[in-house]
Amino acid sequence: MKSKITFLFTLVLGSFLCFGQELALVKEGKKAGYINKSGEFAIPIQFDDAKSFSDGMAAAEKDDMWGFINTSGEWAIQPEYDKVKYFNSGVALVLKDDNWYYIDKTGSKIDAPVADKYFDFNDGVAFYRANDQIGLIGPDGKVVLEPSFDAIKKFRNGHAKVKKNDLWGMIDKTGELVIPAEYTALGNTWTPAGVDARKGEAFGIVSNGTFNVIEGADKVWGFKGDSKLAYARKGKKIGFVNSQGEWVIEPSYEKARAFVDGLAPVANGKMWGYIDESGKMVIEASYRDAEVFSDGMAPVKDKRWGFIDKTGSLVIPMEYDITAGFAFISGRDSKGFINGLARVKSKKGWGFLDKTGKLLADKWFENAEPFESVK
């Protein structure tokens, strides 16, 4: 009995550690490998080129051909392709002998309907274009939604905006319309609070099936994350509205970004600070630029970038460059901290800082991409 319990504990612990593992693609001497969050090489520098992990696999190049490796750095799919895309939903798009097609994680070809163009999978579906119309297919290659829209944009939070007869709506992953295609413009991202929209000359928020017009607005931006406030512009000034389209913070700023963790960057003139959801300036406007909070920290800029905490204290000096990198893989904004680490650039190269400003493994790389989950 004791040995069985020990075995089960080890199995569960191993599964937990595997699930939580993250690796970052790094490059040195024109070769690529992967480090873990301790800064150790989980997969040594060895590949001619490589991409970040996605869906438990990473594309890697050897002798001008591409294949896919597993988390041990072993070839799960041998390098035999001219080009490859990222795995998503258990499927990847590959090019061989001038033909694009889908493969699963065993490298087997997936039968899919003939299309004018093939698209990457995202969130369980891929676009399917035929006769200038767009539909959806699933990971098994079967049609989920017959081509019936003029355009479908990237799925975000399980929803995608669609275009029909020059008007926009939004569908879920089954292809069902959750917002009718009756809007002149529509935001890209579905959130629980609603979606920013325009109908004719009116700007507002679509929430629970209702278009709530924002009085006097001539532009509106979407909600971010689970925030209940979006920002909008009226008379060349920006303020914040709720899902009903009501002004919660009157338009009084020349520039603004979204609320995250209860704080939003705003600016009048050249200097940025942060307000809370009551509109009170809680971090003085003293920065040349400022990004939204992430993981309790926010990037702020003088000549270069550093990081403040939510009290406004400068924790990491403004000595670095930051960039969005390739956050589209996971949908995360990599300008700030993610799970305790921030990707930054110095004169010595790319690296990762913890929340005290300590450099991960005291090591800079020629290039480093954001950490990505390997599961």
pLDDT tens track for 111-124: 999 888 899 999 99
Residue 358 lies in domain: 291-375
How many angstroms separate the most distant Cα atoms in the chain?
Answer: 73
319: left (phi over 0), alpha (psi -120 to 50) or beta: alpha
Burial of 302: CB neighbours in 10 Å, binned 0-12, 13-18, 19+: middle
Position 19 scores a pLDDT of 46
Does any domain span residue 314? Answer: yes
**Would you state the pLDDT for residue 20?**
62
* Beta-carbon contacts of residue 229 (< 8 Å; ≥ 6 apart): 223, 240, 241, 242, 248, 249, 259, 264, 277
Number of structural domains the chain divides into: 1
- In a domain, residue 331? The reply is yes
For 12-74, the three-class secondary structure string (H helix, E strand, C coil) is: HHHHHHHHHCEEEEEEECCEEEEECCCCCEEEEEEECEECCCECCEEEEEECCEEEEECCCCC
Instruction: Point out the residues of the chain with pLDDT beneath 70.
Output: 1-20, 324-334
Q: What percent of the chain has pLDDT over 90?
A: 89
The reply to whether 144 falls in a domain is no
Task: Let me know if residue 18 belongs to a domain.
Answer: no
pTM of the model: 0.89
